[in-house]
Amino acid sequence: MQDTYICLMEVEIIFEDETILIVNKPNNVLIHKSYYARNIKDETLLELVYKQTGLNLYPVHRLDRKTSGVLVLAKQKEQVAIFQALFNTNEIQKTYLGIVRGFVAEPTLINSPVKNPDTQVYKEAETYCKPLQIVQLNIPVHPYETSRYSLVELKPSSGRMHQLRIHMNKMSHPIVGDYKYGDRFHNRMFENEFNCHNLFLHAVSLSFKHPLTEKQLNIKARIPEDWTYLFSKFEWKVDI
């Protein structure tokens, strides 16, 4: 008797060929079970995609549970290393969007080591941050009478765990919705005023030459609905 699965969350598939499947990962979804998230019982991305496609897939890289956006999955386990090599040699251009506290005045290259949670060893990490839009709201957030935010483009040239979140915190521009490295007063304001509870970090695009077909791929993941809602509230016009 064939098993019947009900997929409660539809995962957007952006690209597929014989070797890979590229998806737009939703917020608050683990890619797979892990020691660090052992208390989370929700279905993982791999489980959701399996129910949707019937494919057993293997992640080529990672995104935090609370980060949304472009994610590459390999169809064969032995092909994972082929695609991972592109990340390890910086042959893939990764672009993220973030909504952060305060006004980011100018493009900045952040070069600051990030600690590996397993080994406790710091490793070199580099992120390019470019401001795109700003907004000042007449909503008080402790200790100020107004609140300021920036939409930024982030391009990491390394792939350390929580790198972007740590780097933006070090710039004193923490990402909105980040309860580990962020500002609880601003996070609470977004929840109370806009009913927004997610981390505002989205992997918006990946660009790379396919190592097997040699075709250039420029993959974009549309932004989640809570982002479009805020863009309309803040009157931000961004070509994504």
Catalytic residue of the set 42, 64, 118, 226:
64
What's the whole-number average pLDDT of the chain?
Answer: 92
- The 3-state DSSP class for residue 67 equals coil
179 within some domain: yes
- Domain extent at residue 227: 12-234
168 within some domain: yes
Check which CATH number belongs to the domain holding 102 and give it: 3.30.2350.10
**Tokens representing residue 28 in the block:** 């608050």
**Tokens representing residue 178 in the block:** 């980040």
174 within some domain: yes
194 within some domain: yes
Report the C-alpha gap between 59 and 236 in whole angstroms.
Answer: 33
**pLDDT, tens digit, for every residue of 50-61?**
999 999 999 999
Please say whether the dihedral angle defined by the alpha carbons of residues 143, 230, 28 and 156, taken in this order, is positive or negative: negative
The pLDDT value given to residue 120: 82
**pLDDT, tens digit, for every residue of 13-72?**
999 999 999 999 999 999 987 655 566 667 999 999 999 999 999 999 999 999 999 999
The pLDDT value given to residue 52: 95
Is 42 designated active site? no
Total number of domains constituting the chain: 1
For 45, 81, 95, 216, the CA distances from 234, given in Å and listed in that order, are: 31, 42, 22, 35
